Amino acid sequence: MKNQNLNLEVHHITRVEGHGNIYVNVHEGTIEKCEWAIPEAPRFFEAMVVGRQYSELHHITSRICGICSIGHTLASLKATEAAMGVQISEQDLKLRKLALHGENLQSHILHLGFLVLPDLLGVGSVIPLTASNPKEVKTVLRLHRLANEMSNLLCGRTTHPQRLVPGGFSKIPSIKELTSVRQKLKEAVPDVQAVAGLIKSLAGKLPDFKRETEFIALTSPDEYALYDGKLGSTDTGAVPVNEYLSYTNEYIVPNSTAKRAKHARESYMVGALARLNLNYDKLSPMAKQTAEMFDLKPICYNPFMNSIAQLVEIVHSVEDTVRLIDELEASGLKSQPEYNVPKIKVKAGRGVGAVEVPRGVLFHDYTYNANGYCTKANCIIPTNQNHANIELDLQALLPKILNKPEKEIELNLEMLVRAYDPCISCSTHAIKVHFV
């Protein structure tokens, strides 16, 4: 028996970063409304940075998001460095890749362990799990702490990094500190496997749903692209990141939520699943084994599998971190002056920086005048690119679950949104919602 009439309003959906609402209206069996709306207060970063000096931009835009502040800092630095024509050293490049791994690990573990796991275990939050599943919670906490330790070592802080500066680093870790983290990561492999095993035992709870869509992510012939690459699509080819505007095509929906993006279709998806769909072959060996455990291979059209793709990336980040530290050890870590301020020849110009952050590809685009002051800025955040895809997924999922009890419909819709790990506080372009 299908629900003939249903009026569902999930205000400020929980266990996501930022504020989002789901509105559903079913009248006599017909779906009249199924919307995803963003009431988050806009913060106007792109206007705030105008007039600020190049040495401050990364510090300011890091504050767009506490969860992916390392990614915002790196995208910002890349944009500034591209505008000024600065090349960072091979060593700094590796250290920055490590910083990105640290953040991806931290964010993915937080999402899987604290935000997704409660749905799979049928509770409202991780808090009751501290009593019912203390062993599992402690494993997640241990991994989270280790990821933060890594970010702390590379960035001088876990949130809003300090050591990352235009042209390189103000301070770098010692090789002893790096090899000590490598050792801890190797020792943490059983913890990662335990989490994978736990998720595997619960994977049946992930709805079997698919909707064909386009996936967009950085892609590179050399590695599983996170810090660098061209902008790739599962529908079309890859282009240099400078041409990102031809992919993101932001638009505004009247009476709807945030600025949205579309490329070859009505919507596209970014994030771990998009990266895996585009770059599966470049995953580390153990990461591929983890994907195989879940029968996850490209192209996977089930958005609920984004959480599993995050798990696969956790494994990849652990293995790739070990590889990068091996390389740094082999080449010998070059020291640098204390309070290092890399020399930058200020010039006028525009630069685009793109980085894969936990929730997908992130763009910062700055124009500077001859004195190094920002005259124009544009930041396009992963979650905004996903909004249209989230709504189309909700609209495709709803008819398939209409015969379920209302509570279950609500849970399934919420789980779908959560699978995207949306980071709405990031949404510099959020638009106020008007409902009539």
Partner 1 sequence: MKPKVAFFDFAGCEGDQLQIANLEEDVLALLDQVEVVSFREVMKEHSDNYDIAFVEGSCTRLQDEDRLRQIRKNAKIVVAIGSCAAIGGINSLKNYKELDDVKKTVYGDSARLFDTYAARPIDAVIPVDAYVYGCPMTKEEFLSVVKSLLLGKRPDIPTYPVCVECKKNENVCAFERGQFCVGPVTRAGCDSCCVNEGTICWGCRGLIDNPNENSEKEVLIKYGLTVDDAISKFNLYYGWQERRK
The binding site for partner 1 (CB under 8 A) comprises 12, 14-19, 41-44, 46-53, 56, 59-60, 63-67, 69, 110, 114-115, 118, 124-127, 130, 137-138, 141-142, 144-145, 148, 156-160, 162-163, 165, 169-171, 252, 338-341, 425-426, 428-429, 431-432, 434
* Token representation of residue 353: 């920086």
The helix/strand/coil state of 257 is coil
Nearest-approach distance from CB 65 to partner 1, in angstroms: 5
Pairwise CA distance, residues 160 & 163, whole Å: 10
The 10 Å Cβ neighbour count of residue 147 is 27
Nearer to partner 1, 65 or 305 (CB): 65
Asked if omega into 22 is within 30° of 0 (cis), the reply is no
Q: Which of 186, 97, 188, 71 is closest to 141 using CA atoms?
A: 188
Nearest-approach distance from CB 432 to partner 1, in angstroms: 6
Q: Are 149 and 141 in contact (CB under 8 A)?
A: no
Pairwise CA distance, residues 355 & 72, whole Å: 8
Q: Are 45 and 379 in contact (CB under 8 A)?
A: yes
Exposed e or buried b for every residue in 21-46, given b needs 16+ CB within 10 A? bbbbebeeeeeeebbbbbbbeebebb
Q: Which of 256, 254, 263, 182 is closest to 217 using CA atoms?
A: 263
Nearest-approach distance from CB 335 to partner 1, in angstroms: 13
Nearest-approach distance from CB 325 to partner 1, in angstroms: 20
Nearer to partner 1, 323 or 432 (CB): 432
Helix (H) or strand (E) segment spanning residue 378: strand 374-380
Nearer to partner 1, 306 or 425 (CB): 425
Nearer to partner 1, 166 or 360 (CB): 166
Q: CA angle, 89 as apex, 66 and 54 as ends, to 5°? A: 50
Nearest-approach distance from CB 289 to partner 1, in angstroms: 28
Nearest-approach distance from CB 259 to partner 1, in angstroms: 8
Nearer to partner 1, 165 or 270 (CB): 165
Nearer to partner 1, 56 or 191 (CB): 56
Nearest-approach distance from CB 431 to partner 1, in angstroms: 6
* Token representation of residue 102: 């640290």
Nearer to partner 1, 229 or 422 (CB): 422
